[in-house]
């Protein structure tokens, strides 16, 4: 089986981009007709009612691009056994449906969580799951049995979906970060497929490049000042797509490759590349627990809110967080393409995390302001 060519991936990307670009205004028009609008309030930064349903346009862009890929000879190996693609698509549709309902008529956090668990179960049942747990040291791996594999798969879906949803607080922020992260996943998957670490029938690079396409197709309407929001429907869907793409690489291949520790442990590549939203998620949970509020309770203490309080506007804040995600991506991709400097990656990541802590932790910032 031959690995799909760069031109084949470029074609699918173009389809995902074009369909999303065309359908996003239609989704905005439909949201206005149905009254599905994000109203300004004290915890939101936008000033005018803005339509939801951007997630529906992205879901359709994903579906059309996947359908086109299934008709291309270059992806014959991927669709010779299409169960994983079907599972990821089904999980994404479930997450989008749950989030879109919540955008129109808020649902309770347990109900939303149940929907995401159902999406995770769909991924597991169709084979897009975590079945191997690589260890950071040594040459052995842990094979997850039928009792643990579903649990780990669902947990990973919940982590990725909620991380993406938490970071969706400024115009273009979530779409841009996911586009950068998915682009890095694609480069990683394309690289390891070229050296036979994963098989040509692994759909992860294809899924990742489609996610890049739908995010970039959505961004012209979502960058500040946004004319449409992806809403929970889009954010949860993107999280599920990222979860499926990463598990199909990191959770199913025992093969050795440079950078394996960083790209396969649970798998660590999404923790690193998606470091901004995942770190923000952990901080949000801890912050709300200390206040005695629910982890689902919204506030204005996310990383992007703190950057704005430091004096950055919406556009600059978004560009800073895009740059942070791009820097993390480049940092962990470098040893994969060069097979050098693996040992320096954890040191560099720790240094970047320390910088982020110093400048964005509210207690440190308050102390600095008082002393100044």
The tokens for 227 are: 């004319």
- Do the domain assignments include residue 191? yes
Let me know if residue 340 belongs to a domain.
yes
DSSP string, 134-177: E-SSSS-EEEP-TTTHHHHHHHHHHHHHHHHHHHTTSTTHHHHH
3-state secondary structure 200-216: CCCCHHHHHHHHHHHHH
Residue 270 belongs to a domain: yes
| Predicted confidence pLDDT, tens digits, the chain (372 residues) | 678 889 999 999 999 999 999 999 999 999 999 988 888 766 565 668 899 999 999 999 999 999 999 999 999 999 998 999 999 999 999 999 999 999 998 888 899 999 999 999 999 999 888 887 655 555 566 777 778 889 989 998 998 898 888 778 778 888 998 999 899 889 888 887 766 677 888 899 999 999 999 999 999 999 988 899 999 999 999 999 999 988 887 656 655 554 444 444 333 444 454 455 556 666 666 766 776 765 555 555 555 555 555 555 677 778 877 887 787 777 777 777 776 655 556 666 666 665 655 555 544 444 444 444
Residue 1 lies in a domain: no
Query: What is the pLDDT, as a whole number, of residue 290?
Result: 72
Number of domains forming the structure of the chain: 1
Residue 337 falls inside a structural domain: yes
- Flag whether the pTM goes above 0.75: yes
Provide the 10 A C-beta neighbour count for residue 113. Answer: 16
> What confidence score (pLDDT) does residue 249 get?
79
- DSSP secondary structure string for all residues of 86-141: HHHHHHHHHHHHHHHHHHHS---HHHHHHHHHHHHHHHHHTT-S--EEE-SSSS-E
**pLDDT at 207 (0 to 100):** 95
- 289 falls within a domain: yes
pLDDT at 191 (0 to 100): 82
Tell me the C-alpha distance between 329 and 272, whole Å.
7
Answer whether the bond into residue 83 is a cis peptide, omega within 30°. no
Residue 138 belongs to some domain of the structure? yes
Residue 37: in which H helix or E strand, if any? strand 37-38
Q: Rounded to an integer, what distance in angstroms lies between the CA atom of residue 346 and that of residue 266?
A: 16
**CA dist list (Å): 264 to 174, 183, 330:** 24, 17, 17
Nearest residue to 124 via CA among 155, 99, 165? 155
Distance between CA atoms of 196 and 308, rounded to whole angstroms?
Answer: 45
Domain with 73 in it: 6-371
In a domain, 34, yes or no: yes
Residue 232, annotated ligand binder? Answer: yes
Q: DSSP per residue over 274-326, as a string?
A: THHHHHHHHHHHHHHHHTT--TT---S-SHHHHHHHTT--HHHHHHHHHHHHH
């Amino acid at each position: 089986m031959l690995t799909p060519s760069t031109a084949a991936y470029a074609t699918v990307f173009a389809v995902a981009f074009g369909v999303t670009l065309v359908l996003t205004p239609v989704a905005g028009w439909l949201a206005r007709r149905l009254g599905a609008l994000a109203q300004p309030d004290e915890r939101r930064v936008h000033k005018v009612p803005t339509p939801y349903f951007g997630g529906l346009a992205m879901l359709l862009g994903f579906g059309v691009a996947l359908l086109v890929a299934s008709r291309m000879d270059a992806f014959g190996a991927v669709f010779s056994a299409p169960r994983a693609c079907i599972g990821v698509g089904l999980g994404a549709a479930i997450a989008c449906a749950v989030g879109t309902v919540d955008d129109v008529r808020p649902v309770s956090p347990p109900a939303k969580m149940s929907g995401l668990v159902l999406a995770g179960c769909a991924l597991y049942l169709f084979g897009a799951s975590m079945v191997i747990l690589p260890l950071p040291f040594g040459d052995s791996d842990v094979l997850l049995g039928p009792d643990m594999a579903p649990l780990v798969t669902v947990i990973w879906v919940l982590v990725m979906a909620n991380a993406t949803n938490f970071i969706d607080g400024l115009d273009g922020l979530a779409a841009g970060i996911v586009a950068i992260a998915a682009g890095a996943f694609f480069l990683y998957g394309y690289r390891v497929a070229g050296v036979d670490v994963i098989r040509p029938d692994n759909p992860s690079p294809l899924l990742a490049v489609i996610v890049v396409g739908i995010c970039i197709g959505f961004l012209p309407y979502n960058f500040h000042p946004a004319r449409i929001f992806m809403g929970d429907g889009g954010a949860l869907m993107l999280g599920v797509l990222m979860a499926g793409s990463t598990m199909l690489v990191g959770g199913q291949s025992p093969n050795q490759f440079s950078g394996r520790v960083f790209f396969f442990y649970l798998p660590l590549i999404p923790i690193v590349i998606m470091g901004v939203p995942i770190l923000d998620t952990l901080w949000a949970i801890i912050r709300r627990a200390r206040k005695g509020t629910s982890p689902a309770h919204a506030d204005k203490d996310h990383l992007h809110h703190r950057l704005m309080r430091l004096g950055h506007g919406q556009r600059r804040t978004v560009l800073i967080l895009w740059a942070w995600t791009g820097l993390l991506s480049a940092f962990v991709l470098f040893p994969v393409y060069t097979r050098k400097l693996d040992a320096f990656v954890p040191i560099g990541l720790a240094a970047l995390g320390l910088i982020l802590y110093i400048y964005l932790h509210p207690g440190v910032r308050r102390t600095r302001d008082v002393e100044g």
